[in-house]
Amino acid sequence: MGVRRPVGGRSSSSVGGRPVSARRSPSRRTAGRVRWVRAVWAAVLFVPLLVVVPLGEAAAQSLPRAQFGTIGGQRLLTVSEADSTVSATVELSAPAPAGGLTVSYSVGGSNYRSAAANRDYVAGVDDATSGVDFEALSGSVTVPANETSATISITLTDDAVVEGAELLLLELTADSTYTLGAGDAQYLALIVVDDDVPAPVVVAADWGLVPSGLSDGDRFRLLFVSSTKRDASSTDVGVYNTHVQGRAAAGHADIRAHSSLFRALVSTQGEDAADNTHMYGTGAPVYWLGGAKVADDYADFWDNDWDSVASVDESGTDIDTTTSDNFLNANGSGDIDFANAIWSGTRRGESGRGYNRRLGTDDAGATFLGTSGTGRLFPSAKPLDIVVHDRPGKSTSHYVMGVSPLFVVGTPSSDVGVSFGGGSGSVVEGGSATFEANLLGGAVAPAGGLVLPISVNAAPAVSSDASSADYGSVPSSITIAAGASMGSASLSITDDAVDELRERVRFGVGTLPDGYVVSGGALDAASSRVTVLDGDATVVSLSGGGSVTEGDASSSASVTVSLSRALAADPLNSGNAESLSVPLALSESGAMRGSHYTVSCPSPLPSGVSCAGLSSGTPTVTFAGSASAASSVVVTFSGGSTVDSDTANGSVGVALGTLSASNMDGGAAAHATQSSVSVTVADSTPPAVKPTLTVASDGAVVEGADASFTVTASPAPAGALSVRYSVTKILGLVDASELGSHTVSLDLSGGTAKITVPTVDDSTVEFDGSVSVSLDAQSQYTVGSPGSAEVAISDNDPQLTIASDGDVTEGSNASFTLSASGSPQAAVTVHYTVAATGGYVDSADLGAKQVTLSGSSRKITVPTVGDSVEETDGSVTVALAAASNKTDYSLGSTSSASAAVADDDAALPVVSVTGGAGVTEGTAASFTVTVSPAPTGTDTVTVHYTVSQSGSFVASGDRGAKQVQVGSSGSASVSVPT
């Protein structure tokens, strides 16, 4: 098939001319028609409708993703009905499994039309009819195993009917064997453009508007600028056609009979100027109405270079289309005078070629024409550049150019032309649709009148057709009374009670009597249709209700909001989605939203449903129309987190508020009997239970710190509790003001709270004490066990300890350190005792002693005795004694300390004596004295000994105490004379 430009700009040609509304650069129109390829100039480009998505894009998905392929990145394309076959490709993100994968699709455009991004492009474009405009499709295609794509062949019907563009849309449908691509990847949209050209209208050579120099067989078209202005808010090209046809009907006398055949030279999102005016191919010359030639042919007309810009209006009168600044800057940013601008649907683009600013969009395009010189319909040359000024917007009123049908100079047929059209474009149920016939050229019906056969909704049927039940007896003809030039037939529309979308009545024309022909050669299908507007309201009802329990989020009640039908995007209302907002008015009694109950909508929401104001304000459910829109939603009421103190149930009345409908002809109404429900909010307050209180000590403290007690409540109350207790003490570490009964409010909601009693920090060394707290029973609680607790209080005045400074050797002082845990505030007398082992301490230094302490520490020393006697090691011990008044200080855990005393004398030698052999009296007796160990060097040991006898052999002078020196030999001889 020949590639067609993505919709947004239709028709133009490098061969057959350029349309006013060209957005893309043109390529050659196949079969004599022009199509567009984005952003490039080209001759003919043939591409199959196939783009294969690289494998692996959806590798992480467990199911393959199905989507339509693209051409040039687009899925909304324009084709000609002359293109026999269009190949659409369905692609998978992963190869199809064994046995292949069947992908389903539907034919129809309601979902697509309702999308905001597409609405303007297809506004005013009718749906193509299956079996008429294209051969019926199967609705599914199978991708072979291990393949990633399959082709759908769409066969178009090339008929001979002159008609507008039509939308042929395929939409993939969901299935459990695959997922759908995102957004527009689910759709393939084709704008099928008609390739049939209306037959030329024959005018006589002496017709008042035949341009000078033309003769029999010559063809031409006329151009004018409307004398009145209008806005560019509509996306439907038919609105602009109606505007110029109305001006033609009131214009030059020679064009009034052909006014219904004039077309607007504008582009909308759904229609290009060339398609709308049927200016295809080389065509014929174009002239200002009754004035100069504009272009030699269609190609010349679209080439940006007109022969004359001396514009005239529909009466042939000159009209001012100049501007105060003909030199317009290229980017269109200047703030210029647009009073004389003409709506076109184009603007200057960055490349200097025409760029779409379609009518109906916020920055619709406008153009300017000078009064002389060379005009530029497209902005490619100075000084008459044509740009859009984005500031005025589509609501600004400007002129519109109209183009006549194709005229041919010749001998007009004697047949009388008959123009047909619907008397009104729309009718509400209960009214009448009118079809009118007008005899042209001043002709009137002959004697006996004129009967013209007509039909209503003739085969083939169209999906939007009203059924036979929607209207009364079908008229078979229009009768024009004798001497009259106009007649009509009416079709009564049934005022039923069915809530439904718009429907359409299509009037047709049968074979006319001899001598009469349909004006323009063919019936204008668009002007022969009447849209039936439904007058029945969509009914909204409420059902359900029930009960929830405060404090129990798992309790719930359902309120269902239902519509009498699902909303849709009505194709006969420019694809605009119907919308209905349903506010739920809440009337609360003894219950508060957010505290006692909550309101929620399901997640995910049903298709086309949204919810707002659930936590505050008015809860509102909004339904939006689409092909898959839901007609109901369940609103859930659940128990809230708050449990109040009362025992009464609450309630919430739920009623329909003021309904707000958009794009719904019949509006909306509340159900006569099902417009409110009630939800009970049940109370869950348990019977009051008195908590039982107990008290426990948090541990001993030192005077000056708070004595702390923990009060425990079981069960915990909801909040604060007034607790009464009594304070008593032992000794004087608590001030008298803290004693006795007290009442305090304790927050026991967490199960526990603290009671504290301050203690007194004085400078007096005193006995340790304690403080006790006893709970007193009250009506709001009971006292359990333990009901009282005691905290010990330690005096913080000096507490003494003693430590040895280390062991000593005899003759040195044993030293001890006396320490106080806190410096006494005044000097205190410390009592202690000294004891020793080994005889190293003189008796005068033993026993009870005392010392004065005025700082945090001081030394106590005990002298030891040093001698030359070798003896065993000993020790010295100092033990602290309690203060005599028992208040000056207290004793710590180390109240005594010892120091070892080491002897420093060497060991004495051992002396022994041995006797010699017996002697005879008169001979000296010999003895040997031995010292061990022997002295060293010159040292000697003096050994004392005593000589005694048995008998009377030794003289008195040789007896008694004696001594001998023993030297290094270790021994000495002693001789005793006998």
For residue 959, pLDDT over 70 is answered with yes
Closest residue by Cα to residue 249 from 266, 262, 231: 262
- Exposure of 709 by Cβ count < 10 A (0-12 exposed, 13-18 middle, 19+ buried)? buried
Average pLDDT over residues 589-609: 94
What's the mean pLDDT when you consider all of the chain?
82
Least confident of 270-284, 310-324, 343-357, 401-415: 343-357
Q: Whole-angstrom Cα distance, residue 253 to residue 72?
A: 49
For residue 61, pLDDT over 80 is answered with no
Least confident of 414-423, 579-588, 803-812: 414-423
pLDDT at 78: 78
DSSP string, 206-245: T-TTPPTT--TT-EEEEEEE-SS-B------HHHHHHHHH
CB atoms within 10 A of CB 441: 11
**pLDDT band at residue 59, thresholds of 50, 70 and 90?**
very low
Least confident of 141-155, 663-677, 896-910: 896-910
Q: pLDDT tens digits, residue range 87-105?
A: 889 999 999 999 899 999 8
For residue 783, pLDDT over 80 is answered with yes
pLDDT at 369: 59
Higher-pLDDT residue of 829, 907: 829
Alpha helices (runs of H) in 576-686, residue ranges in sequence order: none
pLDDT at 883: 83
For residue 43, pLDDT over 70 is answered with no
For residue 117, pLDDT over 70 is answered with no
Closest residue by Cα to residue 7 from 140, 163, 193: 193
pLDDT at 123: 64
Higher-pLDDT residue of 161, 324: 161
For residue 124, pLDDT over 90 is answered with no
pLDDT at 323: 54
For residue 624, pLDDT over 90 is answered with yes
Q: pLDDT tens digits, residue range 277-320?
A: 888 777 899 999 999 999 999 888 877 678 888 889 999 998 87
**pLDDT band at residue 892, thresholds of 50, 70 and 90?**
confident
501 φψ region: left (φ > 0), alpha (ψ -120 to 50), beta (else): beta
pLDDT at 274: 80
pLDDT at 29: 33
% of the chain surpassing 90 pLDDT:
48
Enumerate domains of the chain plus CATH numbers.
Answer: 48-193 (2.60.40.2030), 199-412 (3.10.100.10), 416-533 (2.60.40.2030), 538-682 (2.60.40.2030), 692-791 (2.60.40.2030), 799-902 (2.60.40.2030), 910-976 (no CATH)
pLDDT at 291: 92
Q: What is the edge-to-edge ordering of all strands in the sheet holding 752-757?
A: 752-757, 707-714, 692-697, 782-783
Q: pLDDT tens digits, residue range 454-509?
A: 999 988 888 889 999 999 999 999 999 998 999 999 999 999 999 999 999 999 99
pLDDT at 554: 94
Average pLDDT over residues 360-370: 61
Asked if 319 and 227 count as a contact pair (C-beta separation under 8 A), the reply is yes
**Cβ contacts of 65 within 8 Å, gap of 6 or more:** 57, 58, 92, 93, 94, 178, 179, 180, 181
Higher-pLDDT residue of 251, 32: 251
For residue 356, pLDDT over 60 is answered with no
Q: Whole-angstrom Cα distance, residue 726 to residue 771?
A: 10
Average pLDDT over residues 39-68: 48
pLDDT at 644: 82
Q: pLDDT tens digits, residue range 216-227?
A: 999 999 999 999
For residue 114, pLDDT over 70 is answered with no
**pLDDT band at residue 337, thresholds of 50, 70 and 90?**
very low
DSSP string, 141-170: EEEPBT-SEEEEEEEBP--S-----EEEEE
CB atoms within 10 A of CB 483: 10
Q: What is the edge-to-edge ordering of all strands in the sheet holding 720-730?
A: 701-702, 788-794, 769-776, 720-730, 740-747
pLDDT at 366: 63
For residue 413, pLDDT over 60 is answered with yes
pLDDT at 316: 93
For residue 38, pLDDT over 80 is answered with no
pLDDT at 362: 63
Torsion of CA 384, 389, 393, 396, to 10 degrees: -40
Closest residue by Cα to residue 722 from 753, 677, 683, 681: 753
For residue 407, pLDDT over 90 is answered with yes
Average pLDDT over residues 147-171: 83
Average pLDDT over residues 533-560: 95
DSSP code at position 25: P
For residue 260, pLDDT over 50 is answered with yes
Q: Whole-angstrom Cα distance, residue 655 to residue 671?
A: 11
pLDDT at 101: 93
Least confident of 547-561, 726-740, 758-772, 870-884: 758-772
Q: pLDDT tens digits, residue range 734-761?
A: 888 999 999 999 999 999 999 999 988 7
Average pLDDT over residues 602-618: 94
% of the chain surpassing 70 pLDDT:
83
pLDDT at 333: 42
343 φψ region: left (φ > 0), alpha (ψ -120 to 50), beta (else): beta
pTM, two decimals, is 0.43
Higher-pLDDT residue of 730, 826: 730
pLDDT at 247: 96
SS (H, E, C) 502-527: CEEEEEEECCCCCCEEEHHHCCCCHH
**Cβ contacts of 955 within 8 Å, gap of 6 or more:** 977
pLDDT at 763: 65
Q: Whole-angstrom Cα distance, residue 284 to residue 219?
A: 6
pLDDT at 671: 96
Q: pLDDT tens digits, residue range 642-676?
A: 888 777 899 999 999 999 999 999 999 999 999 99
**pLDDT band at residue 860, thresholds of 50, 70 and 90?**
very high
Q: pLDDT tens digits, residue range 421-469?
A: 887 788 999 999 999 999 987 889 999 999 999 999 988 888 889 999 9
For residue 50, pLDDT over 50 is answered with no
